[in-house]
Amino acid sequence: MHITATDTSHHQELDAKPPPPDPGRVGHERQQGDLLSSQGRPPWTGVPARLLERDGELLAIDAAVAAAGAGTGAVVVVEGPPGAGKTTLLTAARDRACAAGMHVLHARGAELEREFSFGVARQLFEPVVLRAAPSARDELLAGAAAAAGPLVGAARPPSHDCDCAITADALFHALHGLYRLTANVAVAQPLLVAIDDLQWCDAGSLRWLAYLGRRVADLSVLVVVGVHVEHPGAHDELLAEAIADAHVLRPAPLGGASVALLARDALAADPCDELCATCHAATGGNPLLVHALLQALAEEGVVPGADEAARVREIGSHAVLRLVRLRLARLAPEASKLASAVAILGDGACVEHAAALAGLTHGEAAAAATTLGQAGLLALESALSFAHPLERAAIYEAVAPLEREAAHAHAARILASEHGCVELIAAQLLYAPSHHEPFALSVLRDTARAACSDGAADTAAAYLRRALREPLQTGTRVDVLVELGMVEKLVDPSAAVEHLREALALLEDDRRGARVGRQLAQTMFLAGRSEEAVRVLERAIAALGPDRGELRSRLRADLLGVTLLGPELYPIAERQLRAIDPTRLEDGLGERMLLAMTAYCDARRGRGRDASADRAELALADGALLDEEPGTAFSYACRVLVVADRFAAAAAAYERGLDRARARGSITSFAIGLAFRGGLAIHRGALADAEADERAALDAARAGGVAAALPFSLTYLALALLEQGRLDGAAEMLEQFAQDAHAFGDMPFFLLVSGQLRRARCDARGALETTLEAADGYAATGQRNPALAAWRSEAALAQLDLGDRDAARELAAEEVRLARAWGAPRPLCRALRVAGLAEGGERGLALLREALAVVAGSAARLERAKALVELGAAVRRGGGRSEARTLLRGGLDLADACGARPLAERARSELRAAGSRPRHARVSGVQALTPSERRVAAMAAEGRTNPAIARALFVTAKTVEAHLSSTYRKLDISSRMQLPKALTHPADGRRGAPEGA
Helix/strand/coil (H/E/C) assignment for every residue in 815-826:
HHHHHHHHCCHH
Task: Look at residue 110 in the predicted model and tell me its pLDDT.
Answer: 83
What is the Cα Rg of the chain in Å? 34
Which residue intervals of 899-956 are DSSP H helices? 901-913, 931-941, 946-953
Q: C-alpha distances in angstroms, 866 versus 732, 830, 833?
A: 25, 9, 8
Count of H-run helices and E-run strands, the chain: 47, 5
Q: What is the DSSP string of 611-670?
A: HHHHHHHHHHHTSGGGG-SS-HHHHHHHHHHHHTT-HHHHHHHHHHHHHHHHHHT-HHHH
Q: At what angle do helices 256-266 and 273-283 cross, to 10 degrees?
A: 110
Bridge partners of 108?
Answer: 196
pLDDT of 41 strictly over 50: no
Q: With bands split at pLDDT 50, 70 and 90, how would you rate the model's confidence at 33?
A: very low
Of residues 399, 408, 453, 452, the one with CA closest to residue 426: 408
CB 706 within 8 A of CB 700: yes
Q: Strand 103-108's sheet: what is its strand order? A: 103-108, 191-196, 221-227, 74-79, 247-249
- What phi and psi, each to the nearest 5 degrees, are found at residue 223? -110, 120
Per-residue pLDDT, averaged over 1-27, amounts to: 39
What is the H or E stretch that residue 223 is in? strand 221-227
CB 667 within 8 A of CB 211: no
pLDDT of 985 strictly over 60: no
To 10 degrees, the CA torsion angle through 276, 279, 280, 284? 180
CB 786 within 8 A of CB 606: yes
Q: C-alpha distances in angstroms, 795 versus 603, 767, 776?
A: 22, 8, 13
3-state helix, strand, coil in the chain (%, to 5): 70, 5, 30
CB 920 within 8 A of CB 892: no
At 634-691, the pLDDT tens digits run 989 999 999 999 999 999 999 998 888 776 667 777 888 899 999 999 999 999 889 9
Of residues 756, 787, 748, the one with CA closest to residue 564: 748
Highest mean pLDDT out of 30-39, 60-69, 909-918: 60-69
Task: Collect all residues with Cβ–Cβ distance below 8 Å to 639 and sequence separation of at least 6.
Answer: 600, 603, 676, 679
pLDDT of 22 strictly over 50: no
Q: What is the DSSP string of 23-56?
A: ---TT--PPP-SSS-TTSS-TT-SSPP--TT-HH
To 10 degrees, the CA torsion angle through 76, 82, 83, 89? 10
Burial class of residue 981, CB neighbours in 10 A (0-12, 13-18, 19+): exposed
Task: Look at residue 296 in the predicted model and tell me its pLDDT.
Answer: 75
Residue 71 to residue 488: CA distance in whole angstroms: 38
What is the H or E stretch that residue 191 is in? strand 191-196
Task: Collect all residues with Cβ–Cβ distance below 8 Å to 525 and sequence separation of at least 6.
Answer: 533, 562
Per-residue pLDDT, averaged over 502-522, amounts to: 90
- What phi and psi, each to the nearest 5 degrees, are found at residue 858? -90, 155
Task: Look at residue 43 in the predicted model and tell me its pLDDT.
Answer: 42
pLDDT of 488 strictly over 90: no
Of residues 822, 800, 883, the one with CA closest to residue 849: 883
Per-residue pLDDT, averaged over 799-821, amounts to: 97
Identify residue 909 by its one-letter amino acid code: S
Q: With bands split at pLDDT 50, 70 and 90, how would you rate the model's confidence at 304?
A: low
pLDDT of 45 strictly over 50: no
Of residues 935, 928, 929, the one with CA closest to residue 994: 935
CB 145 within 8 A of CB 181: yes
Q: Is the peptide bond before 18 cis (omega within 30 degrees of 0)?
A: no
Task: Look at residue 850 in the predicted model and tell me its pLDDT.
Answer: 97
Q: With bands split at pLDDT 50, 70 and 90, how would you rate the model's confidence at 607?
A: confident
Task: Look at residue 100 in the predicted model and tell me its pLDDT.
Answer: 95
Highest mean pLDDT out of 301-310, 488-497, 833-842: 833-842
CB 501 within 8 A of CB 493: no
Residue 193 to residue 225: CA distance in whole angstroms: 8
pLDDT of 107 strictly over 50: yes
Higher pLDDT, 278 or 546: 278
Per-residue pLDDT, averaged over 346-352, amounts to: 87
Q: At what angle do helices 333-345 and 401-417 cross, to 10 degrees?
A: 80
Please provide the average confidence, as pLDDT, over all residues in the chain. 83
Q: With bands split at pLDDT 50, 70 and 90, how would you rate the model's confidence at 162?
A: very low
Q: With bands split at pLDDT 50, 70 and 90, how would you rate the model's confidence at 955?
A: low
pLDDT of 595 strictly over 80: yes
Mapping DSSP onto H, E and C, the string for 453-496 reads HHCCHHHHHHHHHHHCCCCCCHHHHHHHHHHHHHHHHHHCHHHH
Bridge partners of 75?
Answer: 223
Task: Look at residue 509 in the predicted model and tell me its pLDDT.
Answer: 85
Residue 459 to residue 121: CA distance in whole angstroms: 14
What is the H or E stretch that residue 226 is in? strand 221-227
Work out the angle at residue 195's Cα, subtended by the Cα atoms of residues 191 and 199, and round it to the nearest 5 degrees.
Answer: 150
pLDDT of 264 strictly over 90: no
Residue 924 to residue 926: CA distance in whole angstroms: 7
Higher pLDDT, 488 or 814: 814
Residue 57 to residue 292: CA distance in whole angstroms: 23
What percent of the chain is predicted at pLDDT more than 90? Answer: 43
- What phi and psi, each to the nearest 5 degrees, are found at residue 349? -70, 145
Alpha carbon of residue 345 to chain centroid: 33
Task: Look at residue 99 in the predicted model and tell me its pLDDT.
Answer: 95
Task: Look at residue 29 in the predicted model and tell me its pLDDT.
Answer: 36
pLDDT of 773 strictly over 90: yes
Residue 323 to residue 296: CA distance in whole angstroms: 5
Task: Look at residue 778 in the predicted model and tell me its pLDDT.
Answer: 93
Which of 434-443, 599-608, 696-705 shows the lowest mean pLDDT across its residues? 696-705
What percent of the chain is predicted at pLDDT more than 70? Answer: 85
Task: Collect all residues with Cβ–Cβ distance below 8 Å to 87 and sequence separation of at least 6.
Answer: 32, 33, 34, 35, 36, 196, 226
Is beta strand 221-227 parallel, antiparallel or unpaired with respect to 247-249? unpaired
Per-residue pLDDT, averaged over 727-735, amounts to: 95
Highest mean pLDDT out of 162-171, 316-325, 369-378, 846-855: 846-855
Largest CA distance in the chain: 110
Residue 705 to residue 699: CA distance in whole angstroms: 10
pLDDT of 109 strictly over 50: yes
Work out the angle at residue 957's Cα, subtended by the Cα atoms of residues 952 and 959, and round it to the nearest 5 degrees.
Answer: 95
